Amino acid sequence: MRPHAAIVGAGSLAPQRRTEGASTLGMLARAAKAALDDAQMEKAEIDGLLVGPQVGETPQHVPATVSEYLGLHPVMSNVVDLGGASGPGMVWRAAAAIQAGMCETVLCVIGNHRNPEVPRSPNRNPIREFDVPFGASGANVSYALLKQAHMARHGTTDEDFALIAHWARANAQNCPEAIFHGSPASVEEVMASPMIASPLHLFEIVMPVAGAEAVIVTSAGKAKGRRAAWLLGAGEKITHRAVSQAPSLTSGPLKPAMERAFGQAGVSVDRMSLLSLYDCYTIMVATTLEDAGLCPPGGFGEFMRAHDFGPGGDMALNTHGGQLGYGQPDLAGGMTHVTEAVRQLRGSATGRQIADPEFALVTGNGATMSEAVALVLGAEA
């Protein structure tokens, strides 16, 4: 498809294991300022705003609250609530609003603090009635079920999955901001880490951190002459909420989402210079590699052994360390994959830059392999 929008600015707050006295609004403001500075834009140029759902601080009127705090007066605004897919989901929605003539330059921002005893709203989701009483409480148990199903169906092993976590930690060594910078993990160390929810080991699970991410999406006309990462294709799919209602435990909605994104972009997965894949758990990367068509179902382990996934390798994957190496700043975890892809395509990923990047696949995942967004970004329009 002919690109009509591009990302021209990206801002990040370094992940922190804990915060004290921080506000989500303050963190969003800092990330937004960093994105504006990176884009070399003034705040007055922003006429669109997309934000994530705020936990605790702002349960309602979120765009209005964030707009007021940042001093913005957008003509288009909304909340994007797709869990870990919210970040990439914002990007294509921003582009769609621009194409529709609703606005020209959109700030997409998401993040959260990790103060002691973070307030949480009561959850009345049906999962609380039909899944939780039977032990399916929390993400760890649900993703453990997905890994267990994959191993049972395809004969994959703990070592296969450990390779994913090993590479995440290895790439985090090239990103000083990463929470696990200075802490690589061998395949053996991943497998020896404590069992959290069988068959998931500790090092296969993201570490929650505080943080915030922001990108600025603008029109093709305004992006000309700027360092930009162009939106070439996008896809989205939702299939369920509770894992008990999943159509499949070994393949997810990212498969049709990626197919749609590749179709719009007119390129295939083997043209990707960077795989920026959502990786809340190792099983998420495994199914994404298979659903993308990079390897057959059950073949991701052999695929992992056949490639070098570092920035100088033949199959760059999550060069910032992914969430397993960088950390998961709440729902901004999915946006870290966007900002890393932007930096790689613009040639500004200092210390981990891919040589001559052309295309990047970015994926987002919400709930339990439930909400899926895929983007194809390009270095050129």
Amino acid at 54: Q
What pLDDT score does 138 carry?
Answer: 82
How many whole angstroms separate alpha carbon 84 and alpha carbon 87? 7
Please give the mean pLDDT across all residues of the chain.
95
211: phi > 0 → left, psi -120 to 50 → alpha, else beta; which?
Answer: left
How many whole angstroms separate alpha carbon 53 and alpha carbon 39? 25
Q: How large is the average pLDDT for residues 145-154? A: 98
Torsion, Cα 85 86 87 91, to 10 degrees, reads 100
What pLDDT score does 131 carry?
Answer: 81
Neighbours of 302 (CB within 10 A): 12
How many whole angstroms separate alpha carbon 176 and alpha carbon 261? 31
Closest to 45 measured CA to CA, from 76, 72, 7: 72
How confident is residue 50, by pLDDT bands cut at 50, 70 and 90? Answer: very high
What pLDDT score does 374 carry?
Answer: 98
Per residue in 320-361, pLDDT tens? 999 999 999 999 999 999 999 999 999 999 999 999 999 999
DSSP 326-357: H-B-GGGHHHHHHHHHHHHHTT--TTSPPSS-
Per residue in 55-71, pLDDT tens? 667 778 999 999 999 99
What pLDDT score does 34 carry?
Answer: 98
Q: Rg (Cα) of the chain, in Å, rounded?
A: 19
What pLDDT score does 306 carry?
Answer: 98
Per residue in 265-282, pLDDT tens? 999 999 999 999 999 999
How many whole angstroms separate alpha carbon 171 and alpha carbon 167? 6
Instruction: Using alpha carbons, list the distances in angstroms from residue 224 to 54, 75, 316.
Output: 34, 23, 28
What pLDDT score does 213 carry?
Answer: 98
Give the percent of the chain with pLDDT over 90.
89
Locate tokens 């080991």: which residue? Answer: 201
What pLDDT score does 55 carry?
Answer: 62
Q: Specify whether the CB–CB gap between 120 and 56 falls below 8 A.
A: yes
How many whole angstroms separate alpha carbon 190 and alpha carbon 10? 32
Lowest mean pLDDT among 113-122, 197-206, 254-263: 113-122
How many whole angstroms separate alpha carbon 194 and alpha carbon 345? 37
What are the residues facing 317 on neighbouring strands? 275
How confident is residue 122, by pLDDT bands cut at 50, 70 and 90? Answer: low
With 0-12 CB in 10 A as exposed, 13-18 as middle and 19+ as buried, what is 44?
A: exposed
Locate tokens 């582009």: which residue? Answer: 95
What pLDDT score does 129 carry?
Answer: 74
Q: Specify whether the CB–CB gap between 372 and 236 falls below 8 A.
A: yes
How many whole angstroms separate alpha carbon 276 and alpha carbon 206? 16
Locate tokens 């007066």: which residue? Answer: 73
Per residue in 286-333, pLDDT tens? 999 999 999 999 999 999 999 999 999 999 999 999 999 999 999 999
Closest to 213 measured CA to CA, from 123, 320, 288: 320
Q: Which structure tokens are listed for 45? A: 């140029």
- The DSSP element (H or E) to which 191 belongs, if any, is helix 187-192
